[in-house]
Amino acid sequence: MAKTILVIGTFDTKADELEYLIGRIKTGGGHVLTMDVSVLGDPPIPVDVSKHEIASAVDETIEGLIALGEEGEAFAKMSAGAALTTRRLFDAGRFDGMIALGGTMGTDLALDCAQALPIGVPKYIVSTVAGSPLIAAERMAADVQFILWAGGLYGLNPLCKSSLSQAAGAVLGAAQLVERPAFDRPMIGMTSLGSSCLKYMKPLHAELTKRGYDVAVFHTTGMGGMAFERLAAEGAFACVMDFSLQEFVNVLHGSVVSAGADRLTGAGRSGTPQMVAPGAMDILDLAGWQEIPSIFADRPFHQHNRLIKNIAFNPEERVAIAHQMVDRLEAAKGPTHFFLTKGGIEEWDRPGEAAHDPEALAAFVEAASKALQGRVEASELDCHINDATFCDAVLAQLDVWVADGVVPRGTTAPS
């Protein structure tokens, strides 16, 4: 069955580019539903969803938006209307995937439209700022795809056509081949780093799978935590095992390796049962290209690869981090259990390794232990987070929650 792609753009200024994109989708055997999000001009070609429908979705008129005299304010309202309309059209079964194109204005609007759609619905943004730090982690849908629109700011040319034709194939192919998540088994959302730093994910994944759960492990290097938080906030998980929290300390200290300001809050807001541990909270991530700030110049340093490097926090910083962490956990609406691993919190926090600092670890453990008392249920473990004892404690707590009906039992239904 041919798939229908929702094509979003400002048809007053980018009609040639959009018409070319539409033509490539049709050449590939797809159908198209067009949405015009212009404000000032009128499209030179017919569209299926007009700019007037977009404005009316937020109780506005195009004339009223123009009268505002502020393009940013007017387009923000169009973004809200486009997101509402996108979801309404999807719920009505009108399309199977979306693609939008634009510069900063069009990308801003497209991000809202992508967030309006469920995970598993193909969502592509062809953008002049794809991959830019202008796009904050919290603005991105968990499975949005970006394509850099090289040479595409104005007018068709061979470079522009190359980008647009690839984009047409990407979104149409995704709509044809996507296997949307069925969630026919309870899913556990887990955070971790690569197995060199945090090692629990492999044994836990095996044991949780045996118990009948699907397990999704998120790489906590910014985008992974962003996707994890969004899904946790939506209630996508039967249980959360958030054991890698360096994105939380990153945002506290201004690192660009960020999952957004709401890290460590998604499961709490949705009431999802969550287990939490302090994995990698002793180190700050920096982009490989960044200079080390002068205040950290004398700290232990680890060059992970050319993309990312790490520096260690001192005792005073770790004490402050412990209190901020507990404050967020205490606000959770659902069951929360914290595992305080007193023997270490990541692999580089062992004797002889770059981030090993017994004094700083002891300061964190003491501060966290005091802050947790009477506020968050906790277990203090005399082990390293990468020891088998930690995994055993996690599985034992899961079994308690299952027995108490807090977390649903796993099932052998196909995933």
Model pLDDT for residues 232-258, shown as the tens digit of each residue: 999 999 999 999 999 999 999 888 888
* pLDDT tens-digit series, residues 71-117: 889 999 999 999 999 999 999 999 999 999 999 999 999 999 999 99
Calpha distance 90→75 (Å, rounded): 22
Higher pLDDT, 415 or 99: 99
In this predicted structure, the answer to whether residue 415 has a pLDDT above a threshold of 60 is no
Across 176-205, average pLDDT: 92
pTM of the model: 0.87
Q: Which amino acid is at 170?
A: A
Angstrom CA distances, 342 to 116, 330, 348, 358, 407, stand at 42, 21, 15, 10, 27
Percent of the chain predicted with pLDDT > 70 = 99
Structural class in CATH, domain 4-177: alpha beta
The closest alpha carbon to 318, from 345, 291, 343, belongs to 345
The per-residue pLDDT for 348 is: 86
Instruction: Report the pLDDT value the prediction gives residue 290, as an integer from 0 to 100.
Output: 79
- Tell me the two tokens of residue 62: 């195009």
Report pLDDT for 413.
56
Are 4-177 and 187-403 in the same CATH fold? Answer: yes
- Residue 414 pLDDT class (50, 70, 90 cuts): low
**Which residues are CB-neighbours of 325 under 8 A, at least 6 positions away?**
245, 248, 264, 278, 281, 368
* Superfamily classification of domain 187-403: Uncharacterised protein family UPF0261, NC domain (3.40.50.12030)
| Pairing label, strands 308-312, 283-287 | antiparallel
Residue 29 half-sphere exposure toward CB, CA atoms < 13 A: 7
Whether 219 has a pLDDT exceeding 60, the answer reads yes
Domain ranges of the chain: 4-177, 187-403
The answer to which of 184-193, 198-207, 234-243, 280-289 has the lowest mean pLDDT is 280-289
- For the stretch 287-329, pLDDT in tens is 888 788 888 878 877 777 888 888 889 999 999 999 999 999 9
Q: What's 132's DSSP letter?
A: -
